[in-house]
Amino acid sequence: MENKIKQLRKGVFELVILQVLKKDKYYGYSLIKAITDNCNFDINEGTIYPILSRLAKEEVIDSQWVESSKGPPRKYYMITNHGKEILKGLEKEFKDLTALVLNTKTMKKKSGRKPLSDKKKIYPTREEKNGK
Amino acid sequence: MGNKYPENVEKIVDDYLSRVRSNMKGLPEIDKDDFIKEIDSHIYESYTDEKNGDEVGKILKVLKKFGEPSEVFTKSAPKAMYKIGKEKNIPLYILIGALIAIFGLPLGFGGLGIILGILGVLGGLVVAYYAVAISFTLGGFAGIIASIIHIIDPDFFLTLTGETDMIRVGFLQISNPTLEGVLGIFFSFVLAALGIFLLFMSKYIFRGLKTIWELASKKLKEILKRNKKST
């Protein structure tokens, strides 16, 4: 269960990071603060770095080391134009997904079995393959 | 990392960072350095933000919030980040490498024939294998039945063909029908067992072939798609 929650969070987290970075540039620590200050979201702060690194590798965001007067230099992140496009797509997808979740949650029991038989029809070849 | 912390805090941070580093396997050194620098910066900011408690209490709280290095940097992370494509692609590269080594041909546009050849050979092999296995099994059972009938009624097959006048000699050319029948049952049984054994073994034998098959057909699809685009 915990693992499932983690996976779900990771996907949503990417979207949240991009939304925040669309507003302004942030460095890792300030980004975490910006995200978690407004709500009670319990997450290991460190997990943001692998995500940022991946996003940077995909050129969705860009980064830049900036000297700080208060201590060690900070690595600032900003969204790229490509990232803005990606964000648009993600936001739409997320909206659709939330609608889907709410829809299926309130779905009546009678039609509950339908998707299963549909699924069988859609993927006959895979089952045949496995059967062999 | 400089002298930005009191000595005991510095030690804790250094130990933590070294644990982070040891969890970043498979990353280029330059990326590791960058990561460590960034995390060090984060910890410092977080530490200076922390108002309550003594020095050690503060840094432990900061590190707890950051997360255990093994949790933060293994599951989600660097490995996954630097893995290009899916794991399945790796055997394909090996396969391509082997094919280039064997045929001296890269599997690009001109490799279509080779891929088709591989698929053809594999397909033929599988069909032939099952044909042999099934015919062994069926032949064996048929042999057993025939032999039993031969023992009960030595003339059965002769009457079936209408050649009642022929000398009563069966398929093994032995004149004693009972002995012939027993031997027939024995050989048929061996044949059937062999067939069943082959069928049973097929799932082990073809496990490897299946992978090659999948890889080759995937590659074939790619080539066809590319050709479609270029024409």
Q: Does the distance separating the beta carbons of B72 and A47 come in below 8 Å?
A: yes
CA–CA dist B144, B188 (Å, integer) = 5
First-to-last alpha carbon distance for chain A, in angstroms, is 33
Write down the ipTM of this complex. Answer: 0.72
**Chain A environment of B61 (Cβ under 8 Å):** none
- For residue B21, CA distances in Å to B35, B42, B47, B74 come to 9, 15, 20, 11
Asked which of A61-70, B34-43, B139-148, B200-209 is least confident by mean pLDDT, the reply is B200-209
- Candidates A3, A26, A47, A126: best to mutate against B (most CBs of B within 10 A) is A47
- Candidates A9, A14, A31, A44: best to mutate against B (most CBs of B within 10 A) is A44
pLDDT in tens, B99-125: 555 554 454 545 566 667 777 777 788
Q: Does the distance separating the beta carbons of B46 and A72 come in below 8 Å?
A: no
Q: Does the distance separating the beta carbons of A28 and B42 come in below 8 Å?
A: yes
Instruction: Name the nearest CA neighbour of B136 among B97, B194, B65, B176.
Output: B194
Per-residue pLDDT at B19 exceeds 50: yes
Answer whether B74's CB lies under 8 Å from B97's CB. Answer: no
| A44 in B contact zone (CB under 8 Å) | yes
**Chain A environment of B68 (Cβ under 8 Å):** 44
Rounded to the nearest integer, the mean pLDDT of chain A is 81
Chain B residue closest to A3 (CA)? Answer: B75
- Candidates A42, A45, A59: best to mutate against B (most CBs of B within 10 A) is A45
First-to-last alpha carbon distance for chain B, in angstroms, is 59
Residue B167 — pLDDT band, cuts 50, 70, 90?
very low
CA–CA dist B46, A31 (Å, integer) = 12
- pLDDT number for residue B173: 63
Chain B residue closest to A28 (CA)? Answer: B42
Strands A26-27 and A61-66: unpaired
In this structure, which amino acid lies at residue A42? D
What is the pTM assigned to this prediction? 0.50
CA–CA dist B186, B182 (Å, integer) = 6
User: Length of chain B, please?
Assistant: 231
Mean pLDDT of A61-80: 91
Q: Does the distance separating the beta carbons of B73 and A44 come in below 8 Å?
A: no
Per-residue pLDDT at B90 exceeds 60: no
Q: Which two tokens stand for residue B180?
A: 């012939």
Asked which of A11-20, A35-44, B55-64, B88-97 is least confident by mean pLDDT, the reply is B88-97
Residue B5 — pLDDT band, cuts 50, 70, 90?
confident
Mean pLDDT of B201-230: 72
- pLDDT number for residue B199: 85
- For residue B225, CA distances in Å to A60, B111, B177, B217 come to 28, 14, 65, 12
CA–CA dist A129, B169 (Å, integer) = 48
Contacts of B111 (CB under 8 A, 6+ apart): B99, B105, B219, B223
Rounded to the nearest integer, the mean pLDDT of chain B is 74
Q: What is the CA radius of gyration of chain B?
A: 36
Q: Does the distance separating the beta carbons of A44 and B81 come in below 8 Å?
A: no
- pLDDT number for residue B114: 67
Answer whether B65's CB lies under 8 Å from A44's CB. Answer: yes
Mean pLDDT of A88-94: 92
- Distance between A29 CA and the closest CA of chain B, angstroms: 5
| A131 in B contact zone (CB under 8 Å) | no
CA–CA dist A66, B96 (Å, integer) = 45
**Chain A environment of B80 (Cβ under 8 Å):** 50, 54
CA–CA dist B175, B171 (Å, integer) = 10
**HSE, side-chain direction, 13 A CA sphere, residue A64:** 8
Per-residue pLDDT at B89 exceeds 60: no
- pLDDT number for residue B52: 84
CB nearest to A50's CB, from B2, B44, B77: B77
| A74 in B contact zone (CB under 8 Å) | yes
3-class secondary structure, A43: coil
CA–CA dist A68, A91 (Å, integer) = 33
